Amino acid sequence: MNELTRASLAELIGTFILVLVGAGAVASNQGVAVAALAHGIILASIVYTYGHISGA
């Protein structure tokens, strides 16, 4: 698998996870702080996991 394909796949997976967790946090109706915290934690996790692949 070439580098562009790997980076694109990492971006696709990362975006999917961010939207899934973010929408779930908002839909849980726990408040703005919980939604913001969920977005921040998942974004940090995605960058830590896929950053070396996509160059984030």
Select from 11, 52, 18 the least CA-distant residue to 38. 18
Instruction: Identify the domain containing residue 20 by its residue range.
Output: 3-54
Sort 55 into a burial class: Cβ within 10 Å, 0-12 / 13-18 / 19+.
Answer: exposed
Q: What is the pLDDT of residues 3-56, one digit of tens each?
A: 999 999 999 999 999 999 999 999 999 999 999 999 999 999 999 999 999 877
Number of domains into which the chain is organized:
1
Select from 54, 56, 55 the least CA-distant residue to 8. 54
Q: What predicted TM-score, i.e. pTM, was given to this entire model?
A: 0.85
> How far from 22 is each of 4, 15, 18, 36, CA to CA, in Å?
26, 10, 6, 8
Instruction: Give CA–CA dist 56/48, Å, rounded.
Output: 9
* Per-residue pLDDT, 55: 78
